[in-house]
Amino acid sequence: AAGVIQSPRHLIKEKRETATLKCYPIPRHDTVYWYQQGPGQDPQFLISFYEKMQSDKGSIPDRFSAQQFSDYHSELNMSSLELGDSALYFCASSLGLKEYEQYFGPGTRLTVT
């Protein structure tokens, strides 16, 4: 079965650069969630979208923004990168606002040097 696709899988950036992470949800899923997971930490909710509209916002820095497009894929844009942004970024998707039925992607490992 098709799963959540994230790209790139690995990304290395320097401080103050920008990065764009992409997420392609499971076909027919209309809700996307973004999480940040630091080393040895639990995933922290950043932001979610339902039917292309922001549905909820968590601990997402102002330097980050995200959107969901008409084909339901989502992009997380990160600017003025800091060393502390180095983490695994997961995208999850669900059919409808069913946060309890989220399917996670493999993640993008972002390293800021």
Partner 1 sequence: GESVGLHLPTLSVQEGDNSIINCAYSNSASDYFIWYKQESGKGPQFIIDIRSNMDKRQGQRVTVLLNKTVKHLSLQIAATQPGDSAVYFCAESSNYKLTFGKGTLLTVNP
Interface ranges with partner 1 (CB under 8 A) = 4, 33, 41-45, 48, 50, 55-56, 58, 90, 92, 97, 99-107
Closer CB to partner 1, 28 or 100, in the complex:
100
CA distances to 10, 13, 20, 86 from 83, rounded to whole Å, are 16, 10, 16, 6
Closer CB to partner 1, 17 or 51, in the complex:
51
Least distance between partner 1 and beta carbon 109 (Å): 8
Closer CB to partner 1, 7 or 79, in the complex:
7
Least distance between partner 1 and beta carbon 10 (Å): 10
Please enumerate in sequence order all residues whose Cβ is within 8 A of that of 63, keeping only pairs 6 or more positions apart, or say none.
Answer: 78, 79, 80, 81, 82
CA-based end-to-end distance of the chain: 36
